[in-house]
Amino acid sequence: MEIEDFVRVEPKLFGLPTLEAVEKQLQKIYNAYFDKELGAVIGVIGVEQVGEGIIIPGDGAAYYNSKFKLITWKPEIQELVFGIITEITNFGAFMDIGAMQGMIHISQTMEDYVNYTKANVLVGKTKKKSLKKNDACLARVIALSYKGDEPKIGLTMRQPGLGKIEWIKEDKKKAEKEIKLALKKQEAAMKKKGGKKK
């Protein structure tokens, strides 16, 4: 994202070349920064242009009209996100999705009735799938709230193709086996009728 704005450079950075001082100040400003319009700022890519500085009476800093680039991420509803489970609670799981953290309610962790164990693991009653800290997962953003300092991101893993990476791989292998079995049955039926496979 390209931005043009006045950057307030603190007096302690005055000994540096102007471009470097502006860049250092931007990195300080945008460290762990979130805005509803921009999203989460991952980092300052670089300063493209710095204009003449102005000093406002009563403020020891200098202000430079600058053009700079930021790399940002703003979550969107229905977006797929990859992340690592950082915490399991009795009401769900928290997942690190890079610039932010999302929450998966216990009912959205898997297509099963889910129990929370004393070992901080979520376990499905029927399929016995388990979800624990440090598991790599694929989830979908289903809710966003911008109340407070950080956005709250609601995630689901109940849809097909989502969940713990091991579950996704197992489901893929199972589907491949079912396809091979169906093809063999179709081939056997064709041979029995005396027809030829198309």
- pLDDT tens for the chain, 198 residues long, are 999 999 999 999 999 999 999 999 999 999 988 888 888 999 999 999 999 989 888 888 999 999 999 999 999 999 999 999 999 999 999 999 988 999 999 999 999 999 999 999 999 999 899 999 999 999 999 999 988 777 899 999 999 899 999 999 998 998 899 999 999 888 888 888 875 555
Same domain, 96 and 68: no
> Would you say the pTM of this structure is higher than 0.85?
no
CATH number of the domain that residue 90 is part of: 2.40.50.140
User: Residue 60: its pLDDT value, please?
Assistant: 86
pLDDT at site 187: 87
- For 101-120, write each residue's pLDDT tens digit: 999 999 999 999 999 999 99
CATH of the domain at 43: 3.30.1490.120
pLDDT score at 196: 53
Q: What is the DSSP string of the chain?
A: -EEEEEEEE-GGGTTS-HHHHHHHHHHHHTTT-EETTTEEEEEEEEEEEEEEEEE-TT--SEEEEEEEEEEEE---TT-EEEEEEEEEETTEEEEE-SSSEEEEEGGGSSSS-EEE-TTS-EEETTT--EE-TT-EEEEEEEEEE--SSS-EEEEE--STT-EEHHHHHHHHHHHHHHHHHHHHHHHHHHHHHT----
Q: How many domains does the chain have?
A: 2
Answer with the one of 14, 43, 73 that is the final residue of a domain: 73
pLDDT recorded at residue 164? 95
What residue numbers bound the domain in which 13 lies?
2-73
